Each structure stands twice: as C-alpha cells, then as structure tokens.
Amino acid sequence: MSKQAKIQGGIVFPGERLGVVEEFFPGSGLYQKNGVIRSAELGTIRYDPSKRELAVSKINRSLLLPREGMEVYGEVGSVMRHDAMVDVFILDGKLLPSPYTGIIQSLDGNRNMLMEVRNGDIVKAKIINTKNRILQLSIDSSDYGVVYAYCSKCGMFLENHRNRLACPRCGRVERRKISTSYGAEELN
C-alpha cells in the first residue's frame, strides 16, 4: 500500500513504520523511536495536513461469543447418518475471523442426515446449545436449512423447483432440507 493511501485512512498494525519526525508530528496511538514514527496499536490512520500530524484511531474488536437462540450460517463438512459437522462462519449477522464448530444432530434418531444436508452445503441454523465448546444447531424450523447447495455430480448451483433441488446442467434432482430463503440469502 502506498504512503498516500495509508494517510487517507488505511489500516495500520502495531509497530508498523509510518514515517519520520521530519515529515510528521506523532499524535495519539503512535510512538517515535530514533526519529521513526510507528503505530502503537491496530487501527486506522488519520492525517491532519494543517498540523502535519499523524494519529491512529484504535479499532475495537469485540469478541463475539455464541449464545443460544443466535442465527448462524456455516458450511457443512462431514455428514453421517445421525449428525453433520458445520464450520460456522457467520454468527448473528457478523462474519467471524475464524469459524466455530457446530453440529446438527438428528434428535429423534429417525431422521437421516444424509437426506437433509450434504458436504459443501451452506446452511442457516439456530444455536440450541453451547455446552462442550461445540455449537449444537437446529434446522427444524422452515426458516432454517440449506440456503445454497451444489450438485453432487457436476458441482453446479442447484435451483429450487417445488422444494426439490435440480441441476440446470446435468438434470440431477437432489433432496435436502431447504430453508424458505434458499438461494436468496446475502452472505457478507
């Protein structure tokens, strides 16, 4: 990133060199050692040209902890007869820096998870339990389930036709437990 782009509000990391005292006056969030100005914290840089002053506004990153009742989005990893592992990447509408692990289980023992979800599916679910560091997820409501799926034969995005997922390329029809918002979710 160029120095000009940095001065216009770029993100800086602790210890990052931003200039020398001959160029700028160090403001808040900065320190200088041996004439070199460095960032003291993670943040965005501010430049006041009238004072020739650099400062850093700290980025406050709050830890987002999962709680029962929160909505999540995740990618299905492994699927077995009675459960499916999910890498949760969106928690309560916020993109996570690293995913949590979740599990969707067949609570009554009669549901076959292999008919509900497949590897690589993107699901919308609700957290029903947070014990043991693995999020227990539910897709039982009509709002929850698969929101994006791909053909297990050719990899094309599956289209929803009367609650059946059909591949526009190879014609394969697949069954999933789909959400009412299948194909319409905006995942940021």
Sequence-separated (6 or more) residues with CB below 8 Å from residue 97: none
The domain tally of the chain equals: 2
Backbone angles phi, psi at 165, to 5 degrees: -100, 125
pLDDT tens by residue, 102-151: 999 976 667 789 899 999 999 999 999 998 889 999 999 999 999 999 99
**Most distant CA atoms of the chain, gap in Å:** 73
What pairs with residue 54 in β-bridges? Answer: 26, 47
The pLDDT value given to residue 32 = 92
Q: Do residue 104 and residue 160 come from a single domain?
A: yes
pLDDT at position 158? 96
Residue 165 structure tokens: 């997922």
54 and 77 assigned to the same domain: no
- In a domain? residue 42: yes
Residue type, 64: L
- The boundaries of the domain holding residue 94 are 71-174
Measured between alpha carbons, how far is 65 from 70 in angstroms, rounded to an integer? 10
Of 131, 136, 82, residue with least CA distance to 110: 82
Residues of the chain short of pLDDT 70, as ranges, are: 1-9, 60-62, 107-109, 188
Please check whether residue 188 lies inside any domain of the structure. Answer: no
Q: What is the pTM assigned to this prediction?
A: 0.68
CATH number, residue 147: 2.40.50.140
CATH number for position 11: 2.40.50.100
Which pLDDT score is estimated for 4? 45
Whether residues 16 and 88 fall in one domain: no
Last residue of a domain, one of 14, 36, 58: 58
pLDDT of residue 13: 79
Query: Residue 28's closest CA among 56, 7, 4?
Result: 56
In a domain? residue 182: no
> What are the backbone angles phi and psi of residue 172, rounded to the nearest 5°?
-60, 140
Checking 29-33 for CB contacts under 8 A at 24+ apart, the result is 29/55, 29/56, 29/57, 29/58, 30/54, 30/55, 30/56
